[in-house]
Chain A
Amino acid sequence: MIPELGQFALILALLLSLAQAFFGLAGAWRNDAGWMMVARPAVTGQFVFVVLAFAALVYAFVSNDFSVNYVATNSNSQLPLFFRVAALWGAHEGSLLLWILILSIWTLAVAALSRQLPLTFSSRVLGIMGLISTGFMLFTLWTSSPFLRLMPAARDGADLNPILQDFALAIHPPMLYTGYVGFSVAFAFACAAMLEGKLDQTWAKWTRPWTLAAWLFQTAGIALGSWWAYYELGWGGWWFWDPVENASFMPWLAGTALIHSLAVTERRGIFKSWTLLLAIFAFSLSLVGTFLVRSGVLVSVHSFATDPTRGFYILGFLLATVGGSLALYAWRAPKLYSPGGFELWSREFFLLVNNVLLAVAAALVLWGTLAPLIYEMLNIGKISVGPPVFTLMFLVPMVPLILFLAPGMHAAWKRGRLTAVAKPLWALLGLAVALGLLITLGIYGRANWLGLVGFIAGLWILFSSLLEPIQRWRAGHRITGGVAGMALAHFGIGLFAIGVSGVQNYKIEKDVALKPGSTFTINGYTFRYVDAKPVEGPNYDAIQMHVEVSRNGRVVAQLDPQKRRYRTRQMDMSESAIDVGWGRDLLVAMGDDLGQGAWSMRLQYKPLIRLIWLGALVMAVGGVVAASDRRYRRREPHRELERGAHPEPRPGESSPAQPAGAVQTVPVAENG
């Protein structure tokens, strides 16, 4: 009964989202306040019914209702409660329901927080979001309902895929989806602005916190996925350039470009059409991500669903969304006028460089992901684009990007003068070079160009990101959320760059065969395989190995990796054991039984790998701080705009560089 109620609730939610789309868009078009007023209650109603549908499925999972096909294929009565709930988004149908739930939460938030926006604009935003949610609900109900019954009911479930039975992976999809779906807000804002035919700095100011919020969730989601892959897949890698990883990374790159481009639009009223295009791309790439993962076109490590008919629907939906928004763009964007120019080496110049490089990076990742597909369709042969190619391609735009970051953060708006901060920047670069050489040559004993450049750029970013907050603090100015957020996010980039440089250039990975009692030494760490014994888990049996790691005769770690066999699926899983440290991780994963107690195993030394995820976390926190800047929370945006665009002059930035004329809002086309 409950699953049928869930299905029914989803149908009602679909009807309400149709109402939300129709009354929002048609009401704004007819300028009919009565119609437009319908959109908000429709959002609330939709949210309620989506929550009911979601709750119905959660109930089916928690109560082990194996008469529901989706529950029977993805859960098991032996599965711990936490994972029974997480199993909901362990496969295609439930993931979609999660997508819909998150979209309705974002829509509810937009509806609640957009009351001070002009009614026609907010109605259009809600209308566009209604269209998106209609598309996804139709898809779910039509091709992938999670509520379908299984006749006769299964005695027990087929269990959740063991590699998904993990805390990080349980919270990874909701996090990532929150990011994916969050870009729909920026997309809806962009479409609404194009429909209005009006795009000014106020628009950028409304859009920016939403984009930041989506971006920070995506950042955290990707980092969680990377962390999970590192400890759970047993290979000790943190990024594989797997199609599914790329699918989540491309919208992130576009979103990162978008928040920077929005900064220029908010501040100077330029880059307007580019900002719109990025908003369209960020969301389109999110949809492409869904498409790539869910259609089975590119089968990869993480693909759990393969069904071409669903792929066709998503492809059609994608074409409608991207095609529609790009058509709207082609119609409206030429009318957008961006007043004012800027000099070489000004803030705008650096942000332009940032945007071009990020867009190039996203395009390269897209090419690498789709190349095998294109080759196969053109019948040239079956290729695979391996991680070395991706890494090399990706470094080409990334190396200049991180080298430009430190000066770019401190460049003045409009004028190409770096003089005010030139001295500390050069001093910090000198310090970074000295420290970089010290770390590479002194600690790791050898330097290659890539490692050295990475360390220097990372350290330079780390130091110089603190420059502005410190200068402000010493001058007695308030450190705004925007300034602190930017400093934090860039500090995170610095940490990330250092971590990547350390791991990629100085890691040591050995696959060895050891008998009990024998040892193997890497980088001064002696791994001694003590013994192996059987252990029993809640839903698996395992062999657990004991490995003692010592350095200079002193024991530094006791590691107990396992080789598990999950009972329901009879599936083997290596559970690696990791000794975590700021300076390095030591990882042991069990391989194969070679007979007579001997085992093959992976021994790995991973310097600075923690900084990769710490960096991503700091970036996400930077996003939180930046999004909570006071200027986004003011009640009357129109009146506040004048002041908002003229904050107290920053150090290294001459205030006359901001003529009052640059702030005026320019209506770009007649309405409707």
Chain B
Amino acid sequence: MTPRRKRLLIVLGILGGVGASVALAVMASRENVMFYFDPSQIAAGQAPHDKRFRVGGMVVKGSVVKTSSQVHPDEIDVRFVLSDFQHEVPVKYSGVLPDLFREGQGVIAHGQLDANGTFLADEVLAKHDEKYMPPEVAGSLKKQHAGVMSGGAAPKSTAAESAAAGSAPMGAAQMNAVPTAPVSSNVPTT
């Protein structure tokens, strides 16, 4: 066997072993590759009830209630409502909110839906630049605005562009700061 051949065999052997283990590991951790749904999709019943996922939207003004739990005073009890201007979803969270969490700001929550339709979040993300809005949230908001303004008649892309052009009443400043966030059909396959 030539040295080159041998080297190739060693490399292929390692790659095979590592490849197989990575495949197994990724299979095992599929749970952690989370899909994104917006409040309208949740309202339409598209979001799973037995799996963790991400939800994004604007924090509705006046909806945030921060207290400690009545039963266990150590526990934090934060509630707020996320909206994409079409539908809303109530969120319950028992952790420390990020510094940039504000009413009227786009955020993303990780967690699961309970039987009553409340989203039980185990993580809430608001990014560090105050101009920043998560691309998914921007996409959802654009889509919903587009629906409102054009009655859903115009083709999606042009409607989204007109929303991005700044005629939207609320959150428009933030949306213009968002890079390219393409408005995709947004239907995840689970």
Residues of A within 8 A of B (CB): 161, 163, 233-234, 296-297, 299-304, 306-308, 338, 340-342, 344, 349, 352-353, 356-357, 360, 364, 371, 376, 379-386, 388-389, 392-393, 395-397, 400, 511-515, 518, 520, 569, 571-574, 589, 591-595, 598, 600-602
* Minimum distance in angstroms from B47 CB to a CB of chain A: 12
Identify which of A342, A385, A511 contacts B96 (C-beta below 8 A).
A511
Interface size on B, residues (CB 8 A): 59
Do residues A299 and B29 form an inter-chain contact, with CB atoms below 8 A?
Answer: no
* Minimum distance in angstroms from B34 CB to a CB of chain A: 5
* Interface residue? B84 (CB, 8 A): no
Identify which of B29, B67, B69, B99 contacts A392 (C-beta below 8 A).
B29
Do residues B6 and A341 form an inter-chain contact, with CB atoms below 8 A?
Answer: yes
Q: A397-B18, A574-B99 are in contact. Are A308 and B76 (CB under 8 A)?
A: no
Which chain A residues lie closer than 8 Å to B26 at the CB level? 389, 392-393
Do residues B18 and A301 form an inter-chain contact, with CB atoms below 8 A?
Answer: no
**Which of B113-121, B164-172, B179-187 touches A?**
B179-187
Do residues A381 and B177 form an inter-chain contact, with CB atoms below 8 A?
Answer: no
* Interface residue? B90 (CB, 8 A): no
19 further contact pairs, Cβ within 8 A, besides A303-B132, A379-B184, A515-B68: A296-B179, A297-B180, A304-B129, A307-B179, A342-B3, A353-B10, A360-B14, A364-B22, A381-B187, A388-B32, A389-B33, A393-B25, A400-B18, A511-B95, A513-B74, A514-B74, A592-B78, A592-B97, A595-B66
Identify which of B75, B99, B179, B187 contacts A306 (C-beta below 8 A).
B179
Shortest beta-carbon contacts, A-B, top 7: A341-B3, A381-B188, A591-B96, A513-B68, A296-B179, A382-B36, A511-B95
A344 vs B1: C-alpha distance when bound (angstroms): 13
* Interface residue? B147 (CB, 8 A): no
* Interface residue? B127 (CB, 8 A): yes
Q: Mark B92-103, 1 if CB is under 8 A from A, else 0.
A: 001111011000
Identify which of B3, B15, B76 contacts A594 (C-beta below 8 A).
B76
Which chain A residues lie closer than 8 Å to B157 at the CB level? none
Q: A513-B69, A600-B66 are in contact. Are A299 and B135 (CB under 8 A)?
A: yes
In chain B between 77 and 115, which residues have their CB closer than 8 angstroms to a CB of chain A?
77-78, 94-97, 99-100, 110
* Interface residue? B161 (CB, 8 A): no
* Minimum distance in angstroms from B138 CB to a CB of chain A: 10
Query: Considering only CB atoms, which chain A residue lies closest to B6 in the complex?
Result: A341
* Cβ contacts A to B, 25 pairs, < 8 Å: A300-B127, A306-B177, A341-B3, A342-B3, A344-B10, A352-B11, A356-B14, A357-B14, A357-B18, A364-B22, A379-B185, A380-B189, A381-B36, A383-B33, A383-B34, A392-B28, A393-B25, A511-B95, A513-B68, A571-B130, A572-B99, A591-B95, A591-B97, A600-B68, A600-B76
A385 vs B26: C-alpha distance when bound (angstroms): 11
Do residues A515 and B73 form an inter-chain contact, with CB atoms below 8 A?
Answer: yes
Which chain A residues lie closer than 8 Å to B28 at the CB level? 392
Do residues A511 and B76 form an inter-chain contact, with CB atoms below 8 A?
Answer: yes
Which chain B residues lie closer than 8 Å to A296 at the CB level? 179-180
* Minimum distance in angstroms from B7 CB to a CB of chain A: 7
Query: Considering only CB atoms, which chain B residue lies closest to A392 in the complex?
Result: B25
Which chain B residues lie closer than 8 Å to A357 at the CB level? 14, 18
Do residues B18 and A598 form an inter-chain contact, with CB atoms below 8 A?
Answer: no
* Interface residue? B143 (CB, 8 A): no
Which chain B residues lie closer than 8 Å to A349 at the CB level? 10
Identify which of B33, B100, B185 contacts A386 (C-beta below 8 A).
B33
Do residues A384 and B33 form an inter-chain contact, with CB atoms below 8 A?
Answer: yes
A589 vs B2: C-alpha distance when bound (angstroms): 61
Identify which of B2, B129, B136 contacts A161 (C-beta below 8 A).
B129
Do residues A512 and B184 form an inter-chain contact, with CB atoms below 8 A?
Answer: no
Which chain B residues lie closer than 8 Å to A515 at the CB level? 68, 73
Which chain A residues lie closer than 8 Å to B69 at the CB level? 513
Do residues B25 and A386 form an inter-chain contact, with CB atoms below 8 A?
Answer: no
Do residues A593 and B66 form an inter-chain contact, with CB atoms below 8 A?
Answer: yes
A520 vs B76: C-alpha distance when bound (angstroms): 13
A385 vs B18: C-alpha distance when bound (angstroms): 20
Do residues B129 and A303 form an inter-chain contact, with CB atoms below 8 A?
Answer: yes
In chain B between 127 and 150, which residues have their CB closer than 8 angstroms to a CB of chain A?
127-130, 132, 134-136
Interface centre among B78, B96, B182 (most CB of A within 10 A): B96
A651 vs B167: C-alpha distance when bound (angstroms): 75
Interface centre among B67, B129, B130 (most CB of A within 10 A): B129
Which chain A residues lie closer than 8 Å to B32 at the CB level? 385-386, 388-389
A25 vs B188: C-alpha distance when bound (angstroms): 52
A356 vs B33: C-alpha distance when bound (angstroms): 26
Do residues B15 and A601 form an inter-chain contact, with CB atoms below 8 A?
Answer: no
Do residues B21 and A396 form an inter-chain contact, with CB atoms below 8 A?
Answer: yes
Do residues A299 and B67 form an inter-chain contact, with CB atoms below 8 A?
Answer: no
Do residues A520 and B6 form an inter-chain contact, with CB atoms below 8 A?
Answer: no
Which chain B residues lie closer than 8 Å to A341 at the CB level? 2-3, 6-7
Do residues B75 and A360 form an inter-chain contact, with CB atoms below 8 A?
Answer: no
A239 vs B103: C-alpha distance when bound (angstroms): 28
Which chain B residues lie closer than 8 Å to A385 at the CB level? 32-33
Which chain B residues lie closer than 8 Å to A233 at the CB level? 128
Do residues A513 and B75 form an inter-chain contact, with CB atoms below 8 A?
Answer: yes
